[in-house]
Amino acid sequence: MGRSMENTTKLLRAWTIRTERGRAKTLMAKILAGKDLTNTQVLVARANMIFGMDHLRTALYHAERAIEDGTNSSDSLAMETLLYASAERQLSTAIKKMSVSDQTEELVVAQLAGGPLEPDETWRELDDTTGLTADRLLRFGVTKTELSTIGERSPLELVLERVAAVDILKK
């Protein structure tokens, strides 16, 4: 108990990958098949629902803590992280919101634990913060009211608050 976010997420690495419509699921399967599943925890999600490394770090931290505390909703670190990253209460809703589909043109691949996962030369490292447009935030679930009250704060704070709120929503 009492793990810091820095220690909990020190192995986290993430990349974005562009692909053609209709090919994302095949690419995801290839990535997941190309690693040793016993040593590496990998999350693959739609890039338009991930707002950078800070978003993933916060989701991973809360997922690790939930597993440690026995309040996890999933048996997998990757799925628990997906739940927190989605800021949803239900795993089925999180999967619908975050999962790669036939329409996906850009995805995020995150190495959560274990390793090593070797990126392809076409993979770009994920920035700390990315894509904080009002349109993307609204599609993520941030309300217009929340956006209007943000003031001088970073819009990322709204996403991180929603991630942290999953702990409350799960109860």
What are 46-101's pLDDT values in tens digits?
Answer: 999 999 999 999 999 999 999 999 999 999 999 999 999 999 999 999 999 999 99
Counting Cα atoms < 13 Å in the Cβ hemisphere of 134 gives 8
**pTM, entire model:** 0.91
What confidence tens digit (pLDDT) does each residue in 133-152 have?
899 999 999 999 999 998 88
Percentage of the chain lying above the pLDDT 70 cut? 94
Q: Please state the rounded mean pLDDT for residues 26-33.
A: 86
The top-level CATH class assigned to 5-169 is alpha beta
The residue whose two tokens read 């996962």 is 117
What are the residue boundaries of the structural domains of the chain, listed by start? Answer: 5-169
List the beta strands (DSSP E) in 33-151.
Answer: 41-46, 106-113, 124-125
Split at pLDDT 50, 70, 90, the class of 36 is low
Residue 46: closest CA among 65, 63, 27, 67: 27
Region of poorest pLDDT, from 28-37, 43-52, 113-122: 28-37
Residue 53: closest CA among 4, 115, 109: 109
